[in-house]
Every structure is written in structure tokens, then in C-alpha cells.
């Protein structure tokens, strides 16, 4: 039982939420954009670094630059998800193929192209919905509270899953993907996220209790799937953590993995609510 890791995980999560809380309510809006761009950039760097260990020739710096531009586009309201997404993704695919034409070797061309595009979509596109939550809140919601609600619900599940899995985990969940994840930890994380969704429902005053319950269920499930999805990638790349950004705990991608699916689904669910 590594109590120091648990304390570090809790401290980092609480610090992240506190920093964003302060920044959202007290700093200019472009600061939030810079934070999201920094998280995306670092997450992509770690992703491409893991992939490079498999000797796949990815377009790392191209992917990082394009990935960092996506949240900027959303901030400027050139919304890729509302009309120009086909143009953007077409431009990305075109550029990756042109880059491939410049290489002398054609081995693993398809793998490199597909991995580069996937990294941009998986990390930058999905996580950039934080921008849409914050600056383009649907149906009159206060975007500041939407971001905080999502962070509290998702990270509550993360911390509970790690704590319960560490101290009470007896049965492995999917050992071929993540040997350390247990059934007990997963169930504990699901319950914690669901309870957090109900406890912090005051952040969503116009959402009735039925939808709060549904959101609690969805976000708790998606948080665990996000964590397992990154574990699958790490397992394939034969690495324990995505990076060493947080010594002893892992990388930036390890921190935001549980948010990659909860963020866009949370946004679209709120968009579908009746006014």
C-alpha cells in the first residue's frame, strides 16, 4: 500500500481543481485557453512519445501544433464541431499525406498517418470541449460552473477508484489491460462519481434530479472507460505511465485521461436538454 502515491494523487487533483476554480472566476478568459492548450500540448507529446517506442514514424510536431490549434479555434468561435469539422479534418489528412510524400521509405506509412490523426482526435479534439463548456455554454448555463462540476465529478471517481483499489482491491478487472485495476476500485469510483454528481447538483440549478441521476451514471461510467482506454494504449506501448511530468505518478495524459470522454458527452447531453 503506497500511501504517499495516494496523497500525491489527491493533492494534484485538488490543486488542479483549485487552480482552475481561481482562474475561471478571477483571471481573464484567455488564461483558461492557455491552460487547455498547455494540457493538450503536453498530452500529445506524451502520446507520440509512447507511440515512438513502437518504432512507428509519427508526425509528432505537426500533430502537437495542430492539436494546440483546435482549442484556439474553439475559443475564437470557429467551432470545428458546428460546420467546419470536415474542412479541418480534411486539411489535417491532406497535410499528413503530403508529409509522408517527403519520406523516402513507405513502410508503416498507413500506421503513421492513422496514429497521428488518431492522437489529434483522441486528445486535442475531445479535451477541447472544455473550451465549449467554459465559453459557449448551452441553454444559458454558467460555463464556469459546468467546468467545475465536470472536474469534481470525474476526479472524485478517480481518487475513490485509486483509494479503494489500493486498500480493498482483491479481484482484477481486466488484467490484460491493467493488472492493478480491481473490480472493487472500479465500483468504488463509479459510486463516488455518482454521489459527487448529486452532491454538486447546485452547480446545475436548471437541471432536474432525473437528469442529474442520468449524468451521474454516464459520467461515472465514461470516466472509468477513459482511464481504461489510456491503460490499453500504455499496455500496447509497454510503458507504465504516459510520462514523468508528475514524478512517481505519471504524465499529463495520466491526469486527463478520465476527462477525454466525459467532457464531450457532458457537453452534448446539456445541449440536448430542453430549454
Question: Taking the alpha carbons of 265, 145, 148, 72 in that order, is the dihedral positive or negative?
Answer: positive
Q: How confident is the model at residue 86 (pLDDT cuts 50, 70, 90)?
A: low
* Interatomic CA distance for residues 195 and 197, integer angstroms: 5
Q: Dig out the grid coordinates for 77 from the structure.
A: 468561435
Tell me the average pLDDT across 64-88.
74
pLDDT higher than 60, residue 82 = no
pLDDT, residue 2, reads: 54
pLDDT tens for each residue of 11-59: 777 777 787 778 788 888 888 899 999 999 999 999 999 998 888 888 8
pLDDT tens for each residue of 98-144: 888 877 777 778 888 889 999 999 999 999 999 989 886 656 678 88
Q: Which residues contact 86 (CB under 8 A, 6 or more apart)?
A: none
Q: How confident is the model at residue 6 (pLDDT cuts 50, 70, 90)?
A: low
* Interatomic CA distance for residues 150 and 131, integer angstroms: 13
Q: By the 8 A CB rule, do 166 and 185 touch?
A: yes
What percentage of the chain carries pLDDT values higher than 90?
32
pLDDT, residue 265, reads: 95
Q: By the 8 A CB rule, do 148 and 203 touch?
A: yes
Q: How many domains does the chain have?
A: 1
pLDDT tens for each residue of 151-207: 999 988 888 887 888 778 787 888 788 777 888 888 898 999 999 999 999 999 888
Q: How confident is the model at residue 9 (pLDDT cuts 50, 70, 90)?
A: low
Q: Which residues contact 82 (CB under 8 A, 6 or more apart)?
A: none
* Interatomic CA distance for residues 70 and 63, integer angstroms: 11
pLDDT, residue 139, reads: 66
pLDDT, residue 262, reads: 95
Residue span of the structural domain in which 230 resides: 3-272
* Interatomic CA distance for residues 231 and 157, integer angstroms: 16
The rounded mean pLDDT for the chain is 84
Exposed/middle/buried for 3, CB within 10 Å: 0-12, 13-18, 19+?
exposed
pLDDT higher than 50, residue 1 = no
Amino acid at each position: 500500500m503506497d500511501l504517499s502515491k495516494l496523497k500525491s494523487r489527491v493533492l494534484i487533483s485538488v490543486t488542479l481543481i483549485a487552480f482552475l476554480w481561481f482562474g475561471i472566476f478571477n483571471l481573464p478568459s484567455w488564461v483558461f485557453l492557455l491552460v487547455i492548450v498547455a494540457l493538450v500540448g503536453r498530452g500529445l507529446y506524451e502520446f507520440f512519445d509512447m507511440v515512438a517506442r513502437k518504432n512507428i514514424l509519427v508526425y509528432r510536431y505537426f500533430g502537437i501544433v495542430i492539436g494546440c490549434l483546435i482549442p484556439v479555434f474553439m475559443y475564437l468561435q470557429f467551432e470545428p464541431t458546428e460546420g467546419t469539422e470536415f474542412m479541418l479534418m480534411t486539411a489535417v489528412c491532406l497535410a499528413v499525406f503530403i508529409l509522408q510524400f517527403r519520406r523516402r521509405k513507405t513502410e508503416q506509412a498507413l500506421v503513421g498517418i492513422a496514429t497521428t490523426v488518431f492522437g489529434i482526435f483522441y486528445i486535442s479534439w475531445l479535451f477541447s470541449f472544455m473550451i465549449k463548456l467554459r465559453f459557449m455554454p448551452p441553454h444559458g448555463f454558467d460555463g464556469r460552473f459546468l467546468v467545475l462540476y465536470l472536474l469534481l465529478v470525474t476526479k472524485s471517481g478517480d481518487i475513490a477508484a485509486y483509494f479503494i483499489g489500493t486498500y480493498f482491491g482483491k479481484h482484477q478487472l481486466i488484467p490484460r489491460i491493467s493488472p492493478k485495476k480491481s473490480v472493487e476500485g472500479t465500483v468504488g469510483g463509479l459510486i463516488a462519481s455518482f454521489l459527487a454528481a448529486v452532491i454538486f447538483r447546485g452547480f446545475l440549478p436548471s437541471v432536474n434530479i432525473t437528469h442529474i441521476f442520468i449524468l451521474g451514471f454516464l459520467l461515472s461510467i465514461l470516466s472509468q472507460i477513459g482511464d481504461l482506454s489510456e491503460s490499453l494504449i500504455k499496455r500496447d506501448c509497454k510503458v507504465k505511465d504516459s510520462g514523468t511530468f508528475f514524478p512517481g505518478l505519471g504524465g499529463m495524459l495520466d491526469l486527463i485521461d478520465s476527462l477525454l470522454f466525459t467532457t464531450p458527452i457532458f457537453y452534448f447531453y446539456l445541449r440536448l436538454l430542453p430549454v
